[in-house]
Amino acid sequence: MLRKSKTLIFKYFLNLFNGAFLVFGLLLMGFGTWLLLDRNNLFTALDENNHLILYIFRIFGGTGLATVLLCLLGYLGIHNEIRCLLILYAVLLTWACGVQVVLSALIFAKKEEVHQVWHEKIDLVISQYGSKNMPEDIPKWTILNAVQRTGCENKINTWYHANALTLLGINFGLLASEVLQVSLTVSFFRHIGNRIYAEK
């Protein structure tokens, strides 16, 4: 009876974390799709050819899809107690942790470079503001007007730095929960092995 209770507790917590990651993956896919389809945001105003938007969409969409597929793999391994799927799930989660650490370091290291590109794009939009030769840029100017009404460059800088740190904080929070998820998965794997050995 104790082994069965322990199995249920493992399954409960693993599925709880797995469900949270599933929601996270769906949110990433939704955010990427929103950026791609919404034409009235600051990203589209600063990106004339949609190269940046497509790049961001691919990153968020790909990461979201990979997270959803990873969650499906984890659910199948947890629910059916398939040990090879559990190991594959733990290995892929460990790989995701490594990628997250590298991306966090990259974001932090390239923060000033991104800030400089951001400034150059805003300066370009401002220099072309109100040009009668560019009526297709009216949405950009509308967004620029809205940004200027709600504050100046200092507020944009403050917003950028606060959000960059928030993203890093979220990233490290996810990293901690992934490490916990890997630990639980390995413990569950061992528990299944012990149960199989005890039943022989």
pLDDT tens digit sequence for 16-46 = 989 988 888 888 888 878 777 776 655 655 5
- Per residue in 148-163, pLDDT (tens digit) is 666 666 766 676 666 6
* pLDDT of 108 strictly over 80: no
Work out the number of other CB atoms within 10 angstroms of the CB of residue 92. Answer: 16
Phi, psi values for residue 152, rounded to 5°: -115, -165
Residue 178 has, within 13 A of its CA and on its CB side, a CA count of 25
- DSSP 8-class letter at 45: H
Helix H or strand E encompassing 111: helix 111-127
Task: Report if pTM > 0.85.
Answer: no
- DSSP 8-class letter at 125: H
Q: What is the pLDDT of residue 84?
A: 92
* pLDDT of 73 strictly over 90: yes
Question: pLDDT over 70 for what percent of the chain?
Answer: 67
The per-residue pLDDT of the chain, averaged, comes to: 78
Closest of 19, 102, 104, 103 to residue 68, by C-alpha: 19
**Cα torsion angle, 118, 120, 123, 128, sign:** negative
Helix axis angle, 83-109 relative to 111-127, nearest 10°? 60
Q: Is the distance from CB of 129 to CB of 141 less than 8 angstroms? A: yes
Least confident of 56-60, 85-89, 91-95, 148-152: 148-152
Q: Is 146 helix (H, G, I), strand (E, B) or coil?
A: helix
